[in-house]
Structure 1
């Protein structure tokens, strides 16, 4: 448990005089230009409390990364031999010297062990301090910065320093230079009259022919409304029954006071999955997260994620992680804490658990360029730890095409945030190598949906597992296409895709239609969870980190994914990229064919002819 006592000046003064480290020479650790689209206003109140997260170096992380790829390589002899929690922690633990020196520095400012909390591996130190003390420790000044378009605000600085002798022992400290606007990815939300809408397609309309679907066809109504039945038909999963008793679990993350309502879930089940009626899910509260079951407080995002993920995978046990720490806050209602990095809060919690869901879906993101590179890489390392432990992580790819995720193209900020203000495509994050990014499709036969986020990272280089597929796509581009607007050597997204619009959910007691790649992520996650159920029932380990397997299957058994070749993802005043044969930065390698994938992943991958 974290603990913090407000300052007792006399007691702290005694500690300060005893430990002179606070007075040593400092060195700038990180500096960023004033962020585009933000205005610096008043100095932060001296007594405003912020939670400093101090990252200590992980000297053995390269070894962990090697283990991750070895247990995720479908041709490797270690495939599926995931690491334990303890093994992972031993590979990310900092050096004892780093712990000692950072402890000394904190003690010199009156922060002793009882004021601190640590991650299980001791690679993070977390402490709540007033702005006045943070400014003293980091030789900086915090201000309230207001986002021009939304009026939201954060307490931040554009540079901070640490004692010179700690430079090799502290990797980063946040919140300092991060100006991210963490948000859910939901492009459209419409309340529809269900009876009026149902009349648009005649009840006797012939089914749509889709050779890769279950039975070779999909009900015609699925071009108007996406239901659980539509997805099971389209992705060739009709007739598969998940197990409730083989240890398989699926998790959904929730942020920003998005509450998953259980009454709405029962309405959804009655409408689309009657065999699941009276079943539910477990809610875990993290960092002050809440579980408000007032019907009017139901969250569209949370209901979408839970209803479709749990509906697809019933009777697999489901968990909803409700994580508090809503960013940004309003400057006129300064809160007692300023926890604006909810990914970190969630990672802190789940990495400390012995047992985790094998499949976890997230439909929230920041803009890549608003997150300092050091912090983005550190969060990426946390996702790698989960992958090494056998967890498959899915993230929606964003709803702004090649833009920054704003629904209105006129509001998209397609410029670099580094002081140059150069025109640039903007990705949502996390777009790290260790998660699976899910783009979006629409209609049947499937085409790319226009808002499907995709492109190339400016932070993370392209991993080896996608080199062949992405290089083939880049070779199809005419010379000079979008030159300077994207990094052709970057980690490319998305990896895969799924349906992303016209989803019928229940919200506050009413049926509504909703869309976004936030629908695609729980859909693809549901298919992955069904694959995990099939494997666990055969005594095989869970799939874990998916991407090496996805790109291997795509290269050798392309029919396991439905290739999407129509559509594009406009943004930043351009048509964006085109969906095309093979991998593309709109729909990745395509949408899943569960039947084909199940046949592959439930056999010995090393001995499948042709694979």
Structure 2
């Protein structure tokens, strides 16, 4: 019997103790980081260059919200599925009035008035746009332009900032300051496909998955399509409704645009009954969906997530911000990383898709821990409201294993420059579901053309919902395996997996084969949207935060993957084993079994 989640074994994110502010308090360093590997100091930004600062205030009642999150997500709890409203969540994460007053007084001392700032609906975030010169004075710091020679990108950041001592307890985080992460799509191996039209009705023989007994078209070993996934994951014949209280969402960043003409061509090939249907486009912070620039990542995400879940209503979010700075322009368009803008936006919305997939991320160590904790808390709010969040686990194995498992570039940023496995973010967050990658169909194995991201967080302790599964995996490891290279007490990821290579999509009117866990996450999202449909049509609430269900009951609806590993950092990484492992999690979905499990959860 799996343990109940009613007793929490660890807090999701720590909350600081509050103290009263004092006037004319001396400054003290609030946060200091080392620039991640690959970034070099380039120049000074112009003092009149504007920057949009986001100030996160402590959420003193977050522990109460966390309790709600676990109770409404625990299939063994009497409150399972009783998700909170937007207003109820905002009440729980609202800052203490003393924190608001202290920060407002500090801002006013620098000439910034109430009309110069904006608040999140819960008032736990304050945003203001000011010149760099003023930001440097307020934070007792110096900003620089930093360059990444590998990518050619520039960002405006500092490696430390300070606040008045008595303001420290009233501020969790201020960004952009020490945040060097650049969220990138988790995709790889883009190759032109056969130009011949795909005929999904022409069988080339069949294969039988020995783990499930399911029969799959033999062509699925070479080319993954919507019908292949339906066969492999046992959803063939299920016809979902188009009810308006269910929807699936895809996030888009970095100039990745979802092309509607390509979607129609994709539907004509792989989902003919979906032809002439499309998605709702939502612009976040001025994001566009340029139809003359189809994106490989955006097209992959929308074509498969929406192709698998049709006719469930679909949404594509576009958030701008790439690259954030050009050193020869005084006023660049955006100095924030775009992920913050998306979180701000969705938390302010009353109605959201019940399933949202994100295929972007970066190394955990490029993200300050204070910021990572706030993202954890923000995403927990969405889970408490009944939203299922899926994130790709990454394509670099345990660190740098995308194409060279013998490389030795997994270095820590703590000044010791030690070799260490590098977890991915946001996949390492405990309040989301991370998705690894597989390939082949008879049987499925961990993907090998790239390596499924997986391992253990250095920021987030192992949550109670996965304690039994992860402890079992670690106990089975040979003593001393990778000692010192990973945090054995950290949150293990991924949680589950799906096919991640040789996906046939349409880009610019031509077929393309693409791989990456950025294919796996939208695939899982499509099936979660189907499961939500199944529950809603039976007057049951949506699944919401998935992990407590997966680790207590849902694991029985996933097919265990038994072969493969995830190389990186000069090692072969972790091995796939029976049960949960940090390569493929509990394995890949069997929709037919999961339908029964979610019905009686």
How far, CA to CA, are the matches of 1:93 and 1:456 in structure 2?
Answer: 31
How far, CA to CA, are the matches of 1:22 and 1:302 in structure 2?
Answer: 50
How far, CA to CA, are the matches of 2:562 and 2:133 in structure 1?
Answer: 56
Question: Which of 388, 391, 395 is the matching residue for 1:392?
Answer: 388
| Structure 1 residues 127-146: Cα deviation after superposition (integer angstroms, max 9, x where no partner) | 11111000010011111111
- The structure-2 alpha-carbon separation of the partners of 1:197 and 1:247, relative to structure 1 and needing over 3 Å to count, comes to closer
SS in 2 for 1:520: helix
1:202, distance to aligned residue in structure 2 (A): 14
| Correspondence 1:120-519 to 2 at 5 A | 120-195=121-196, 205-210=204-209, 216-245=214-243, 247-294=245-292, 297-333=293-329, 335-404=331-400, 413-430=409-426, 431-444=428-441, 445-450=443-448, 451-519=451-519
How far, CA to CA, are the matches of 1:406 and 1:288 in structure 2?
Answer: 33
- The structure-2 alpha-carbon separation of the partners of 1:187 and 1:539, relative to structure 1 and needing over 3 Å to count, comes to same
SS in 2 for 1:188: strand
| Structure 1 residues 149-186: Cα deviation after superposition (integer angstroms, max 9, x where no partner) | 22312111111111222111111111111111221111
> Of Structure 1 and Structure 2, which has the larger fraction of its residues in helix?
1
| Structure 1 residues 377-431: Cα deviation after superposition (integer angstroms, max 9, x where no partner) | 0011010000000000000000001114765668773010111110001111011
TM-score normalised according to structure 2 size: 0.93
Once the two structures are overlaid, the 10-residue window that deviates more, 111-120 or 457-466, is: 111-120
1:268, distance to aligned residue in structure 2 (A): 0.2
Stretches of structure 1 lacking an aligned partner (at least 5 in a row)? 1-20, 606-611
**1:608 paired residue number:** none
| Structure 1 residues 554-610: Cα deviation after superposition (integer angstroms, max 9, x where no partner) | 56xx3x11100001111111111111110011100000000000011123x2xxxxx
**2:96 paired residue number:** 95
| Structure 1 residues 91-146: Cα deviation after superposition (integer angstroms, max 9, x where no partner) | 10001111111111111212112211111000000011111000010011111111
Does the 8 Å CA contact 1:358/1:529 hold for their aligned counterparts? yes
1:32, distance to aligned residue in structure 2 (A): 1.6
Q: Is 1:589 equivalent to 2:586 in the alignment? A: yes
How far, CA to CA, are the matches of 1:412 and 1:537 in structure 2?
Answer: 52
Does the 8 Å CA contact 2:251/2:316 hold for their aligned counterparts? yes
**2:5 paired residue number:** none
1:329, distance to aligned residue in structure 2 (A): 3.2
How far, CA to CA, are the matches of 1:280 and 1:591 in structure 2?
Answer: 28
Once the two structures are overlaid, the 10-residue window that deviates more, 575-584 or 326-335, is: 326-335
1:205, distance to aligned residue in structure 2 (A): 4.0
Does the 8 Å CA contact 2:226/2:307 hold for their aligned counterparts? yes
Does the 8 Å CA contact 1:554/1:589 hold for their aligned counterparts? no
**1:14 paired residue number:** none
Once the two structures are overlaid, the 10-residue window that deviates more, 150-159 or 83-92, is: 150-159
TM-score normalised according to structure 1 size: 0.91
SS in 1 for 2:51: strand
How far, CA to CA, are the matches of 1:194 and 1:286 in structure 2?
Answer: 35
| Structure 1 residues 31-58: Cα deviation after superposition (integer angstroms, max 9, x where no partner) | 1234332211212211111111101100
**1:71 paired residue number:** 72
How far, CA to CA, are the matches of 1:318 and 1:35 in structure 2?
Answer: 37
Does the 8 Å CA contact 2:198/2:269 hold for their aligned counterparts? no
How far, CA to CA, are the matches of 1:78 and 1:105 in structure 2?
Answer: 42
Question: Which of 574, 577, 580 is the matching residue for 2:577?
Answer: 580
- The structure-2 alpha-carbon separation of the partners of 1:483 and 1:32, relative to structure 1 and needing over 3 Å to count, comes to same
1:333, distance to aligned residue in structure 2 (A): 4.3
| Correspondence 1:28-67 to 2 at 5 A | 28-67=29-68
Stretches of structure 2 lacking an aligned partner (at least 5 in a row)? 1-21
**1:12 paired residue number:** none
Q: How many pairs are equivalent? A: 576
**2:561 paired residue number:** 564
SS in 2 for 1:390: coil
**1:9 paired residue number:** none
- The structure-2 alpha-carbon separation of the partners of 1:268 and 1:413, relative to structure 1 and needing over 3 Å to count, comes to same
1:487, distance to aligned residue in structure 2 (A): 0.5
Does the 8 Å CA contact 1:399/1:407 hold for their aligned counterparts? no
1:246, distance to aligned residue in structure 2 (A): 5.2
How far, CA to CA, are the matches of 1:35 and 1:291 in structure 2?
Answer: 32
How far, CA to CA, are the matches of 1:574 and 1:156 in structure 2?
Answer: 33
SS in 2 for 1:526: helix
- The structure-2 alpha-carbon separation of the partners of 1:573 and 1:333, relative to structure 1 and needing over 3 Å to count, comes to farther
Q: Is 1:108 equivalent to 2:109 in the alignment? A: yes
1:193, distance to aligned residue in structure 2 (A): 2.1
